[in-house]
Amino acid sequence: MWGEIGFISAAVIFALVAFLSLNLKVSDKRFSVLSYGLAHIFASFSFLLWGLVLYGVGSLSLRNAVIIGDTMLIIGSVLMATSTFQKGIRNKILLGTSVLGLLFLIIRYIAIKPEPYIENYILIFNSQLIISIALVLIFALAWFRTNIVLGTIIIKNNKELRDTWTAWYFVNLLSFIGFCGFIIGKKPQTVALSFVALVTSYMILGFFIYYSQKVSNNGQ
Amino acid sequence: MDNNNNQLPNMQNNDSPIFVSANSQTIIEADQIPDKNEKWSFSIKKISEYLLLLLALVVIGALIFGLDVLGMIGMALFFVYGFCLVVIQMFKPILKAYYAKNYASAALITLVMGAALWVFGWMLYIGYMIVTLMLGFWEINS
- CB-based contact, B75 to chain A, within 8 Å: yes
Query: In the predicted model, is pLDDT for residue A42 greater than 90?
Result: yes
Q: Angle B17-B18-B20 (CA atoms, 0-180°, nearest 5)?
A: 150
B43 residue type, one letter = S
Q: Which residue has the higher pLDDT, A165 or A72?
A: A72
pLDDT at residue B86 is higher than 80: no
Enumerate the H helices of B5-102 as residue ranges: 38-64, 68-90, 92-99
Separation of alpha carbons A101 and B8, rounded Å = 61
Identify all chain B residues contacting A164, using CB atoms and an 8 Å cutoff.
89
Give the B window 77-96 contacts with A, CB below 8 Å: 78-79, 82-83, 85-86, 89-90, 92-93
Identify whether the C-beta of residue A82 lies closer than 8 Å to the C-beta of residue A141.
no
Q: What's the pLDDT tens digit per position in A165-207? A: 888 888 899 899 988 888 888 888 888 888 888 888 888 888 8
- What is the tens place of the pLDDT at every residue in B19-77? 444 444 444 444 454 555 555 556 777 888 888 889 889 988 888 888 877 887 888 78
| Residues B131 and A6 sit within 8 Å (Cβ to Cβ) | no
Q: Searching chain A, which residue's CA lies closest to the CA of residue B137?
A: A120
Maximum Cα interatomic distance, chain B, rounded to a whole number of Å: 80
Q: Return residues 100-119 of A near B (CB < 8 Å).
A: none
Q: Is A93 on the interface with B (CB under 8 A)?
A: no
> How far apart are the CA of A181 and the nearest CA of chain B, in angstroms?
6
Residue A189 to residue B45, Cβ atoms within 8 A? no
Does the structure show a pLDDT above 80 at B11? Answer: no
Percent residues over pLDDT 70 in chain A: 97
Confidence tier at B13 by pLDDT (50, 70, 90): very low
- The ipTM of this complex is 0.80
Q: What is the DSSP string of A113-144?
A: ----EEETTEEE----HHHHHHHHHHIIIIII
Q: Give the closest-approach CA distance of A187 to chain B in angstroms.
A: 7
Q: Is the pLDDT of residue B129 over 80?
A: no
Query: Which of B15, B32, B64 is the best residue to mutate to test the A interface, defined by the most A CB atoms within 10 Å of its own CB?
Result: B64
| Mean pLDDT confidence for A100-113 | 86
Cβ atoms within 10 Å of B45's Cβ, excluding its own:
17
**Which of B86, B135, B142 has the CB atom closest to A166's CB atom?**
B86
Average of per-residue pLDDT values in chain A: 85
- Residue B25 is predicted with a pLDDT of 47
Contacts of B79 in chain A (CB under 8 A): 174, 197
Instruction: Read off the pLDDT of each residue in A119-128 and give the average, rounded to a whole number.
Output: 80
| Highest-pLDDT range among A41-50, A166-175, B102-111 | A41-50
